Structure formats: C-alpha cells, structure tokens
C-alpha cells in the first residue's frame, strides 16, 4: 500500500479503505481542496489557523468566504480524515485539526421576515417555488426528487422523500410522505427531477434570491419559516407541521405513532390557494 504524501493522496487512500457516501465525499473534497497539494507531515497548527483565517467569513477574505456552519463542517471533515490517517498509520504524531474551530459559534435558528405571496411575483408560476411554498420542504428535497417519487397513482397524490444511493435525507424525520397540495397538481410534472440531492437547485437558489431582491443568506430556506407561520394561521398543530416539514420531535412521547397520509392531506388542504386570494 502506497503511503500518501499529499493531502489529496491521503483522502484517496482513506476513501479506498473506508468509502463514504457521495455527498460526504463531496464535502471532504471541498475541505481538502485549499490544501490538496500540501505535504501531510508539513501541516502544523499555524497552517490550520491560516486555513481558518483565509476562508472564514469573519476574517479578512473578500473572495468566496465560508459561513460559520460551512467552516465548522470543513474542519470536522479534516479532523475525521486525519484521525483515519493516524489510525491506519499513514500519519505519525498528533492531529493538528483536533481543536480547530472550537471558537466558531453557529446559530441554529434565524429570524426571516414573513413575506406575502405577492412579494414573490417573478416566481408565481415556478414549479420549485410553488412546491416549497405549499409544502414547506427543503429545496434539496424538491430538486432531488426522481420521477417515481412523485406519486399520482394513489388516492392521495404525494411526494415520497426517501434516502437513495446518491441522496441522503437530512435526518430520520425527513424521510416521509407529503400530500401534494391541490394548487400544485398541475405543475409537479414540470419539476426538474434529479438523482442528486441538490441537482438543479443550486442555480435556482441564486436566481431566486437575485430576481426577488433578497439579501445574501435569505433564499429558499426562508420559505420554510413562512410555511410554519401560515400553518399556524390555518390552525395546523405543531406536531403536524413537523410531520409535513421533516423536523425532529421535541419529546420522547411524541416519537410514538405517526400521522396517516389522509390526516396530512386534511391539514395541508387548510392552506388556501394563493391565486384565489389575489
């Protein structure tokens, strides 16, 4: 077995011994890319700090800065990669990434303004926008749907959000069936389906933010927040909202049982057709 000398070679060797799922591998390569041609043994704690300074958005980097959460993810990937390298004796000594980024704090929730449907006029007839607006799903979930996961040969048409070989759901509750809102019956066949989790969603998100004049950091995910507000206004209970959007449950007791597809359809149908309100 060839002992890797460069960081890129370390990743290749580790992947050959312990393959990870494609989305994870993509994240690892993004983390490695800035230092892929560096010698493994030459990287010190100072180099780790320079890596953070150069790429973290809170530091002096006007070109393609990384957000807090992205930086955390990249550092976790490098920490895991080095741990594997040490375990398989590719690397001798300590792991310089072991405490990297410990001072980077991320916020899990963000307040988004509840913008009305009229605000998104450029996208009123866009299939991806309408599916997120009426169902509260993640952009990656809609963009990653395959044809067979849009089920119309059932008494209740619905989306099947499931794990596939090339697309992992974010968590357990994200694997779910969501009834298609009646307002979307005529547009779901226009969705650009893909085997990848993000698929055509990357470019769409940038265009959505640009055409609607949204600030940086506020794009399709803000529609999920708006969906929860509209659900509450329609009298839909929180546990049902979690079932529709794929959020985890707060208590152990709430983990028992599930909502039937019929119950979800009754709930989601309470959301009015926005075109009729205009």
| Banded model confidence at residue 249, pLDDT cuts 50, 70, 90 | low
- Classify residue 6 by its DSSP letter: B
Please report, rounded to a whole number, the percentage of residues in the chain having pLDDT higher than 90: 56
Please report, rounded to a whole number, the percentage of residues in the chain having pLDDT higher than 70: 87
The per-residue pLDDT for 252 is 38
Q: Residue 195: is its pLDDT beyond 50?
A: yes
| Banded model confidence at residue 218, pLDDT cuts 50, 70, 90 | confident
The rounded mean pLDDT for the chain is 86
- For residues 110 and 12, the model is more confident at 12
For the segment 67-92, the average pLDDT, to the nearest whole number, is 92
Residue 199 class from Cβ within 10 Å (0-12 exposed, 13-18 middle, 19+ buried)?
buried
For the segment 201-205, the average pLDDT, to the nearest whole number, is 73
Give how far the C-alpha of residue 196 lies from the chain's centroid of Cα atoms, to the nearest Å: 12
Question: Which pairs from 192-196 meet CB under 8 Å and 24+ separation?
Answer: 192/127, 192/128, 192/143, 193/144, 193/145, 193/146, 193/147, 193/149, 193/150, 194/143, 194/144, 194/145, 194/146, 195/144, 195/146, 195/164, 195/166, 195/167, 196/143, 196/144, 196/166, 196/167
Give how far the C-alpha of residue 260 lies from the chain's centroid of Cα atoms, to the nearest Å: 26
Please report, for residues 17, 56, 91, 168, the alpha-carbon distance to residue 81 in angstroms, rounded to integers and kept in the order given.
12, 20, 11, 21
Q: For the segment 229-245, what is each residue's pLDDT rounded down to a tens digit?
A: 999 999 999 999 999 99
Tell me the pTM: 0.70
For the segment 206-217, the average pLDDT, to the nearest whole number, is 86
Q: For the segment 100-137, what is each residue's pLDDT rounded down to a tens digit?
A: 988 888 766 667 888 999 999 999 999 999 999 999 99
Which secondary-structure segment (H or E) carries 79?
helix 68-87
Q: For the segment 144-192, what is each residue's pLDDT rounded down to a tens digit?
A: 888 899 999 999 999 999 987 666 777 888 899 999 999 999 999 888 7
The per-residue pLDDT for 152 is 92
């Amino acid at each position: 077995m060839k002992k890797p000398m460069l960081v890129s070679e370390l990743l290749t060797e580790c992947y050959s011994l312990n393959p990870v799922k494609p989305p994870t591998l993509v994240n690892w390569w993004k983390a490695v890319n800035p230092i892929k041609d560096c010698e493994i043994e030459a990287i010190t704690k100072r180099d780790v700090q320079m890596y953070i300074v150069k790429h973290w958005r809170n530091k002096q980097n006007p070109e393609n800065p990384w957000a807090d959460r992205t930086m955390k993810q990249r550092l976790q990937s490098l920490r895991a990669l080095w741990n594997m390298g040490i375990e398989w004796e590719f690397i001798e000594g300590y792991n310089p990434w072991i405490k990297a980024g410990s001072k980077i704090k991320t916020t899990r929730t963000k307040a988004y303004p509840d913008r009305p449907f009229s605000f998104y006029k450029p996208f009123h007839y866009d299939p991806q926008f309408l599916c997120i607006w009426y169902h509260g799903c993640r952009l990656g979930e809609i963009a990653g749907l395959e044809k067979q996961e849009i089920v119309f040969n059932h008494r209740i048409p619905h989306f099947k959000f499931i794990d596939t070989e090339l697309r992992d759901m974010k968590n357990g509750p994200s694997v779910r069936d969501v009834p298609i809102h009646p307002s979307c019956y005529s547009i779901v066949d226009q969705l650009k389906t893909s085997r990848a989790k993000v698929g055509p969603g990357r470019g769409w998100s940038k265009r959505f933010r640009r055409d609607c004049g949204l600030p940086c950091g506020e794009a399709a995910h803000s529609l999920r927040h708006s969906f929860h507000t509209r659900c509450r206004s329609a009298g839909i209970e929180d546990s049902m909202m979690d079932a529709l959007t794929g959020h985890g449950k707060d208590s152990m007791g709430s983990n028992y049982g599930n909502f039937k597809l019929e119950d979800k359809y009754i709930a989601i149908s309470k959301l009015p057709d926005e075109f009729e309100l205009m």
